[in-house]
Amino acid sequence: MRLPSILRTGVFQLTMVYMALFGASVAALFIFTYWSTIGSIERQSDSVIEAEIRGLAEQYERRGLPGLVEIIRERVRRDTQGRSVYLFVDSSLRPIAGNMAYWPQELNRSSGLVSFFKINADGVQIPARARVLTVGQGYRLMVGREINELALINQDFRRALVWGIGLTMGLALAGGILMSLQAQRRIARLNRTTRQIIAGDLSRRVPTTGGRDEFEELTQNVNAMLDQIENLMAGLRHVGDSIAHDLRGPLTRLGNQLELLAAEAEPSREGLTMCAEQAEGLLATFNALLRISRVESGAYRSAFAELDLSGIVSDICELYHAAAEDERITFSSEIEPSIAVFGDRELLAQALTNLLDNAIKYTPQGGSIVVRLIQEADSACLEVADNGPGVPAKDRERVFERFARLDQSRSLPGNGLGLALVKAVAEQHGGTLEVADNSPGLIVSLKLPSKQP
Amino acid sequence: MRILIIEDDKDVASFIQSGLQQSGWNVDHADNGKDGLFLAATESYDALVVDRMLPAVDGLTVIRTLRASGIQTPVLVLSALGEVDDRVAGLKAGGDDYLVKPFAFSELSARLEALLRRSGEHGSTQATTVLNVADLKMDLLRRDVSRAATKIDLQPREFQLLEFLMRHAGQVVTRTMLLEGVWDYHFDPQTNVIDVHISRLRAKIDRDFDVPLLHTVRGVGYKLGGDTN
């Protein structure tokens, strides 16, 4: 059952509509041609009859009945081809003159032009058109013309019309079937690939034909989308892997310690406290992960409002000032007043907190940290600069990844999630996060659009 | 003291219940909003711990219904991180404090104690202009602090910090509670930022005196004043 499935395709249905439209326009074209050719000839022939009637009526006025009879006879004699039809009858329809043997009944119906079939002596029917002129008391004169050639052309024309429309429809149908078969084949290819992808094979791609039509465009878009999805999936898997990897270590340690404690007759309070602290650290890591994915999910965006970023930055600087000084780090801030952004107060505060946590962690005693908030053309720029060890150029992209910990920082406490959260916060606010060299040290700049995104 | 826990997660509920019972509280538990609402409305409790997401009737509806029927029992709202944990919505519904899961038991118990204290002092707090803890005295109108008649100079933020501690005298306050109450930010401070502020405050109010007032409660937070329950 091939045909029914074709009939169901959208392309074929479209073809059917086109076919109907095409048929209608061909018919309209024929009708117009008919009107302007055969119709015109008919009208011409009719006007000849009218003119003849007028002429004969005039002759009757001038020369009376005998004159009219004579003229009719003269006309019949001169019409060697026999195309003109004349018949002059008295009130009882008896022929007086003319080249027709009987008075056709059709003529009694109308006083205008009438079409009828003239039956010859040999019984052949010839189509004719005629008009009647009444003269004197009950005398009637019929003037007409045979239109058998016109009728033949007419017949041919109609046949051509039927064939023409039939052929057009046939071609449209065949073309439609061909087109929909081809479209169906290409869509089937697309469907086959998507089904394979649904089945789990993300590496599949829809074969391209190299053309430039919309199907090819769709194919390329689908493939590009699949690339994107595959990348995201890979990223996700990477995150999942690193979460598993980075949490396995501490969990194993915790498990081992608890096992040892369980084996002791009287578990030491110190050991238990240590275990509790480790569990708390793990919990904090999970919370940080959850918070990052929550920020990335855009859940906070609905609560975004216009904020005084200068105020938030001042608050957090004030909060961290003492902590930095305790580490013998010079802490200074340059904050332009009343810089407004559109966002979430807690998230932005948390982001700056993470940046300052990092700065304090990596800046050696005697070092300095500078926080700067300046208004740029169309964004607010928040910078945290330190003169710690900085980040080698090759690692600058990697520092934003979850659990990205550079070799030099492995020994320091931390879960490697701080900058990942800042990055997520920056992105949710339509901003950017970059790290640069402070030679020596690191500059992290967070740029947030000034206006509502 | 009698507490009602409305929480559908059995593990969380029994964890809170056993913890509170060990501290000598009387604890009831309802595992859905409907039963919880019924118990809260018919029995007399000193505080409620209500989870936001509950079967049958959700937590915020429970609180709203209670408040609408004139029951003013203090409520601590619990919410899992990843839910729509809009703090404002929780507090608007009539909750008194808000805690995001997962949390340490010490955090919960500190907040619950603060809630109970607040409701116990109802009426008298409004008019308070002077706070006293042992020989430490804070005049809220003149904005000055003295200990044993010695004037102590405090920075504005130190003043706020001490005010918060004095209002919660004798209770354990966590670092998160301090960040919320004094700085008005709601996240877990990673480094020791709060500790540094506390140690500066401690230097001013304790260093020159024999009896220390500001105690560190290991693994939980701080406590101002002795065991004046």
The predicted-structure confidence for A286-299, as pLDDT tens digits, reads as follows 888 888 888 887 87
Closest-CA residue in chain B for A349? Answer: B185
**Tokens 């009438």, located at residue:** A114
Question: 0.90 exceeded by the pTM?
Answer: no
- Tell me which residue in B86, B104, B187 faces A350 most closely, judged by beta carbons: B187
How much of chain B is in helix, strand and coil states, percent to nearest 5?
40, 25, 35
DSSP-based three-state secondary structure for B80: strand
Q: Cβ contact (<8 Å) for B187 and A346?
A: yes
- Summarised one tens digit per residue, pLDDT across range A48-72 is 888 988 888 888 888 888 888 888 8
- CATH number for the domain whose boundaries are A298-449: 3.30.565.10
Q: Which amino acid does the sequence have at A12?
A: F
A60 alpha-carbon distance from chain centroid: 79
Taking each continuous run of H as one helix and of E as one strand, the counts in chain A are 9, 12
**CB < 8 Å to A326, chain B:** 196, 199
**Contact (CB, 8 A) for A339 and B212:** no
CA distance A386 to A423: 19
B2-120 CATH, one of 3.40.50.2300, 3.40.47.10, 3.10.180.10, 2.40.50.140:
3.40.50.2300
Mutation target vs A (from B86, B183, B185; most A CBs, 10 A cutoff)? B185
DSSP-based three-state secondary structure for A389: coil
CA distance B218 to A451: 45
Closest-CA residue in chain A for B101? Answer: A287
Q: How confident is the model at residue A131 (pLDDT cuts 50, 70, 90)?
A: confident
The arithmetic mean of pLDDT across residues A423-438, rounded, is 91
Q: Find all residues with CB under 8 Å of A130, minimum gap 6, and list them.
A: A49, A85, A104, A107, A113, A114, A116, A142, A143, A144, A145
A277 touches chain B (CB under 8 A): yes
A295 touches chain B (CB under 8 A): no
DSSP-based three-state secondary structure for A8: helix
Residue A346 neighbours by CB distance under 10 Å:
17
Q: Which amino acid does the sequence have at B54?
A: L
Predicted local distance difference test score (pLDDT) of residue B228: 39
> Where is pLDDT greater, at B87 or A252?
A252
ipTM of the prediction greater than 0.85, yes or no: no
Asked whether residue A417 carries a pLDDT value surpassing 70, the answer given is yes
A320 touches chain B (CB under 8 A): yes
Q: CA of B181 to nearest chain A CA: how many angstroms apart?
A: 13
Tell me the sheet residues that pair with B6. Answer: B30, B50
DSSP-based three-state secondary structure for A362: helix
Residue A102 neighbours by CB distance under 10 Å:
11
Using H for helix, E for strand and C for coil, what is the string for A40-97?
Answer: HHHHHHHHHHHHHHHHHHHHHHHHHHHHHHHHHHHHHHHCCCCCEEEEEECCCCCEEE
Predicted local distance difference test score (pLDDT) of residue A412: 63
- Summarised one tens digit per residue, pLDDT across range B92-103 is 888 998 888 878
Residue A138 token pair: 């009950």
Of residues B198, B200, B174, the one with CA closest to residue B187: B174
Percent residues over pLDDT 70 in chain A: 94
Output phi, psi for A233, to 5 deg.
-60, -40
Q: Cβ contact (<8 Å) for A315 and B196?
A: no
Torsional sign, CA A270, A272, A273, A275: positive
Give ranges for CATH 3.40.50.2300 in chain B.
Answer: 2-120
Asked whether residue A130 carries a pLDDT value surpassing 50, the answer given is yes
Q: Sheet holding A432-437: strands in order across?
A: A330-335, A368-375, A379-386, A442-449, A432-437
Contact map slice: A 385-424 vs B, CB within 8 A: 418
Closest-CA residue in chain A for B180? Answer: A346
Torsional sign, CA A260, A262, A268, A271: positive
Closest-CA residue in chain B for A325? Answer: B196
CA distance A350 to A428: 14
**CB < 8 Å to B191, chain A:** 323, 357, 360-361
Q: Cβ contact (<8 Å) for B187 and A315?
A: no
**Within 13 Å of residue A194, how many CA atoms lie on the same side as its CB?**
11
Q: Cβ contact (<8 Å) for B102 and A350?
A: no
CA distance A279 to A125: 114
Q: Cβ contact (<8 Å) for A319 and B193?
A: yes
User: pLDDT averaged over chain B?
Assistant: 86
Closest-CA residue in chain A for B88? Answer: A303
Asked whether residue A168 carries a pLDDT value surpassing 60, the answer given is yes
- Summarised one tens digit per residue, pLDDT across range A253-281 is 898 889 988 888 888 888 888 888 888 88
B100 alpha-carbon distance from chain centroid: 13
- Summarised one tens digit per residue, pLDDT across range A33-50 is 888 888 888 888 888 888
Predicted local distance difference test score (pLDDT) of residue A1: 46
Asked whether residue A139 carries a pLDDT value surpassing 70, the answer given is yes
- Tell me which residue in B190, B196, B219 faces A322 most closely, judged by beta carbons: B196
Q: Cβ contact (<8 Å) for B197 and A360?
A: no
**Contact (CB, 8 A) for B7 and B93:** no
Give ranges for CATH 1.10.10.10 in chain B.
Answer: 128-224
CA distance A315 to A356: 13
The full set of domain ranges for chain A reads: 2-36+153-192, 38-146, 214-281, 298-449
| CATH 1.10.10.10, domain B128-224, yes or no | yes
DSSP-based three-state secondary structure for A140: strand
**Within 13 Å of residue A33, how many CA atoms lie on the same side as its CB?**
12
Q: CA of A219 to nearest chain B CA: how many angstroms apart?
A: 37
Q: How confident is the model at residue B229 (pLDDT cuts 50, 70, 90)?
A: very low
Q: Cβ contact (<8 Å) for A350 and B197?
A: no
CA distance A398 to B102: 29
Closest-CA residue in chain A for B156? Answer: A318
**Contact (CB, 8 A) for A282 and A415:** no
- Tell me which residue in A276, A284, A322 faces B197 most closely, judged by beta carbons: A322
A348 touches chain B (CB under 8 A): no
Count how many residues are written for chain B. 229
Asked whether residue A103 carries a pLDDT value surpassing 70, the answer given is yes
**CB < 8 Å to A360, chain B:** 191
Predicted local distance difference test score (pLDDT) of residue A8: 67
The arithmetic mean of pLDDT across residues B137-155, rounded, is 90
CA dihedral angle for residue A409, residue A412, residue A415, residue A418, rounded to 10 degrees: -70
B172 alpha-carbon distance from chain centroid: 9
DSSP 8-state secondary structure symbol assigned to residue A301: G
Q: CA of A191 to nearest chain B CA: how many angstroms apart?
A: 36
- Summarised one tens digit per residue, pLDDT across range B58-90 is 899 999 999 998 888 999 999 876 555 577 788
Q: Cβ contact (<8 Å) for B157 and A318?
A: yes
Of residues A256, A257, A249, the one with CA closest to residue A416: A249
Q: CA of A197 to nearest chain B CA: how many angstroms apart?
A: 30
CA distance A220 to A206: 8
Q: Cis omega (within 30 of 0) on the bond before B102? A: yes
DSSP 8-state secondary structure symbol assigned to residue B182: I
**CB < 8 Å to A362, chain B:** none
The CA-atom distances, in angstroms, between B135 and each of B121, B179, B205 are 21, 26, 10
The arithmetic mean of pLDDT across residues B183-203, rounded, is 85
Predicted local distance difference test score (pLDDT) of residue A353: 92
A38-146 CATH, one of 3.30.450.20, 3.20.20.30, 2.60.120.260, 3.40.50.720:
3.30.450.20
Residue A376 token pair: 């740029």
Residue B171 token pair: 């209770």
Q: Cβ contact (<8 Å) for A287 and B188?
A: yes
Closest-CA residue in chain A for B179? Answer: A319
Residue contacts between A and B (CB atoms, under 8 Å): 55
Closest-CA residue in chain B for A311? Answer: B183
DSSP-based three-state secondary structure for B44: coil
Predicted local distance difference test score (pLDDT) of residue A329: 93
Mutation target vs A (from B191, B192, B204, B220; most A CBs, 10 A cutoff)? B191
Q: CA of B120 to nearest chain A CA: how many angstroms apart?
A: 31
DSSP 8-state secondary structure symbol assigned to residue B39: H
Q: Cβ contact (<8 Å) for B190 and A353?
A: yes
CA distance B175 to B188: 8
Mutation target vs A (from B107, B176, B193; most A CBs, 10 A cutoff)? B193
A225 alpha-carbon distance from chain centroid: 16
Output phi, psi for B9, to 5 deg.
-75, 110
Q: Which of A282-296, B26-40, B128-142 has the lowest mean pLDDT?
A: A282-296
Top-confidence range, A204-208, A293-297, B154-158: B154-158
**CB < 8 Å to A320, chain B:** 193
Q: Cβ contact (<8 Å) for A357 and B191?
A: yes
The CA-atom distances, in angstroms, between B69 and each of A430, B60, B182 are 45, 14, 33
Residue A220 neighbours by CB distance under 10 Å:
13
Q: Which helix (H) or strand (E) holds A243?
A: helix A214-263
Predicted local distance difference test score (pLDDT) of residue A453: 46
**Contact (CB, 8 A) for B75 and B32:** no
DSSP 8-state secondary structure symbol assigned to residue A123: S
**CB < 8 Å to A303, chain B:** 86
DSSP-based three-state secondary structure for A5: helix
